[in-house]
Amino acid sequence: MKKILPDSFLFLAVFVVAALFGANVSAQNAKKQPPKELQALRINDAPKIDGVLDEAIWQQAQIATNFIQNRPTPGPLEVHPTEVRILYDDEAIYVGAIMHDVSQDSIFRQMGKRDDLGNTDFFGVFLDTYNDQINGFGFLVTPAGVQLDARYSTNGEDWSWNTVWESNASIQGSNWVAEFKIPYSAIRFSSKPEQLWGLNFMRNRQSTKQGYFWNHVDPAIDGFANQWGKLTGLKNIEAPLRLSFTPYVAAFAESYPRQKEGSEDVDYKSNYSFSGGMDVKYGISDAFTLDMTLIPDFSQVQSDNQVLNLSPFEVQFNENRPFFMEGTELFNKGGFFYSRRIGGAPVNPLNSDEEEEQGNTIIDHPIETKMLNGTKVSGRTSSGLGIGIFNAVVGRQYATLEDSEGNRFKKQIQPLTNYNITVFDQSLKNNSYVTLINNNVMRQGGTYDANLTGGLFRFNDKTNTYAIEGRAALSQKYFSDSTALGHTYRIGLSKTSGRFQVYTSHTLISDTYDPNDLGILFVNNSMEENLQFNYNFYQPFWKLLNMYTSVGAVYARRYKPDTFQNFVIYGNVNATFKNFMSAGLNFNLEPVTTYDFFEPRVDGMYYTFPVNYSAGGYVSSDYRKKFALDISGNYRWFDENSRYNYSYAISPRYRVNDKLSFVYQFSRNLRLDDMGFANKFKFDENGDEVKEQVVIFGLRDVNATTSTLTASYSFSNRMTLSLRSRHYWSKAEYNRYYRLATDGLLSPDAYPGGYSDEYKNNNHNINFNAFNIDMVYSWWFAPGSEISIVWKNAIEESKDVVVPRYLDNFSNTISSPQNNSLSVKVLYYIDYLTLKNKLKKS
């Protein structure tokens, strides 16, 4: 395994030449326009938030207009004017906007749940309250009155963030009107006597799929908040006492199957519970907020997408728990935090084979741990220093066992554990930053503790055209008699603006680097060089509105020992046609034999991975139409046996009206003559230990099919009913077995020696089905207050007999034993100041 490419110095040299060339075609050479400014008007009497704007004070405020198109054609002024005014008092910011249009039919207003846009117009206001041109708040409303809010940071757009604010919208002739009240308690800002905030407005006109910003946001320029205008005139405003309580009560009922003792039959048992808890938000200062959850209840979160995992890596699930989704942008910087570790699998799971050797039978083994409480403190000072502290406590967890005499006892599989994250994030000029992060896991008793300290930075030039960025971390595991250290770093150079863009980086991950106690990493012990070129068309040409293209290469070696691992060339092109159909093509080439050090599941062994090529694409039709369709596909060829993969997905969607819509997705992924791990062992047929670990690979056909139906009905902009059902079926059928040699090649003689007879009859085939239904009724009956009713149905089935037909699998699955649960939860938002004022009046 010798080098096939030069070292990373070549990549850096190429970057310098490419960047110099790119500077000649950069859009940054054009003279940048100064940011627009809007002055807010102080008022004494607050307007009524009814979406009418009939108070005379609105006419005295300065008007923001002349919005500039951002998509699909950047640059032109809007034809149908937008007029925006801003008022403020000691309590809140008030925004009034009038969107002129042709007729009411041109105003799209599909209903939806909160933070769900759908097929609709919308108007939004964006506030950078520290004017650091990096972080911001977004508040949006649709003509149907649906609210959306988001946070903006270097991590991008975070729609999971929610706060309490008021809005209303109305249709007036051929125009529509939006009115906002954004209380100071919903945002954070400095204590300066005169404020200067970043400001922008956006209007989406769905009938023409045109998006407009008040201060032009050029897609050829990197960044979002750095392209906003300025809000002036805010004087002598103070952050109020920010204290709110959201108590909840919840009732839960569950029916689940249990196998009868000494029989394959099952019966059903029931479980009922009633619980309560509280979320608390407290403004420690004008800039910092304490967010705490006591006795959290996650019974209503969306079910995970279970899959058959044949890989050597764990499955990474999405985070659906609100506490870990809202206001976590600081903690997610650098990618060191994987929140599913908290409340995830126990750290000391029992091994059933080892317990059987001791004469014990596992009766009950929880697969998740229980979080007792969680706390977040976060904010940003007037000098741009962001500080975040996250802490969560997970309680002890026990498994129930039974010994040979029938006595039952418990074993601890999860000690009392504390998870902590501390972040310091300094915003700098030119959309730059420096960040320090520390992750810490402390476990009671003899189980090891873990720590990770990381840093990252990004420095942009004055024109926001060139950037240098880096990331480094040190992982530590503290055992009773030793400490394990590991490290990683990445350094990258990029040209980020203009038509032509380029990115190059060098990444090193040591063989002992392990962030997985509070983060997630699939592959360590590697060194990678990455080089990517982008060339984008932002203006319409031919039959296209825009087109984005990229091509790149990744060259990877092992960190220890220094040997070749992988080389990939990739590329893609994505375009939007003038009829608003989108399409894309992609390719991935591995033109030389590469080496997989993870599939064997044994240190020091590797599998010689064959040369392979893949290509794919997608087509997506115009979502404004009642019926729309998405289609995608991919084909991958291997220079090994008759091996190839192909996958496809089709997703029709139908909007019955502005309240009811359906989306269906069917996907299939087939891997024919796939080669993968099947078994490993250290002993021969006589029970004697062999010199080398024996690793068996299998030639197999793997098929994964997913069918998902989503339906949504909106009774109003505050009341929705949604349904999501998903059936997943995957099978792996083994046809032949091979032994992996120390040179990474495979010999076709199945299991060696006396193992042949024993293991040829051993069935590695697997047939896995998972079926879930999540039906959710939600009613936001008051600001920040919600009643939700959730029904869940879950079925999971795995066996070693392959059922070849999809419909047979579906039929067998829905007739299998299943879990059913029904939960009712009531949240009630209490703002301290509002409650105090009401008590005074009474």
Per residue in 445-474, pLDDT tens?
989 999 999 999 999 999 999 999 999 999
Task: Map 207-234 to HEC letters.
Answer: CCCEEEECCCCCCCCCCCHHHCEEEEEE
Q: What is the mean pLDDT of residues 828-842?
A: 84
Q: What is the percentage of the chain residues whose pLDDT exceeds 70?
A: 93
Which helix (H) or strand (E) segment holds residue 8: the answer is: helix 8-25
Per residue in 554-600, pLDDT tens?
999 999 999 999 999 999 999 999 999 999 999 999 999 999 999 99
User: pLDDT at position 5, please?
Assistant: 47
Q: What is the mean pLDDT of residues 270-288?
A: 90
d(CA 595, CA 609): 5
pTM: 0.90
Nearest residue to 178 (alpha-carbon basis) of 135, 216, 148, 136:
148
Residue 126, CA distances (Å) to 85, 351, 508 in order: 14, 53, 38
Strand partners, 712: 661, 722
* Residue 521 and residue 513 in contact, taking contact as beta carbons nearer than 8 Å: yes
Structure tokens at 276: 């309560």
Residue partners of 356: CB distance under 8 A and separation at least 6: none
Of the listed ranges 63-67, 139-143, 293-297, the least confidently predicted one is: 293-297
d(CA 490, CA 485): 18
pLDDT at 841 over 80: no
User: pLDDT at position 32, please?
Assistant: 66
Per residue in 773-832, pLDDT tens?
999 999 999 989 999 999 999 999 999 899 999 999 999 999 999 999 999 999 999 998
Phi-psi region of 63 (alpha: psi -120 to 50; beta: other; left: phi over 0): beta
Single-letter residue type at 689 = E
User: pLDDT at position 604, please?
Assistant: 87
Per residue in 353-367, pLDDT tens?
888 888 998 888 998
d(CA 19, CA 626): 45
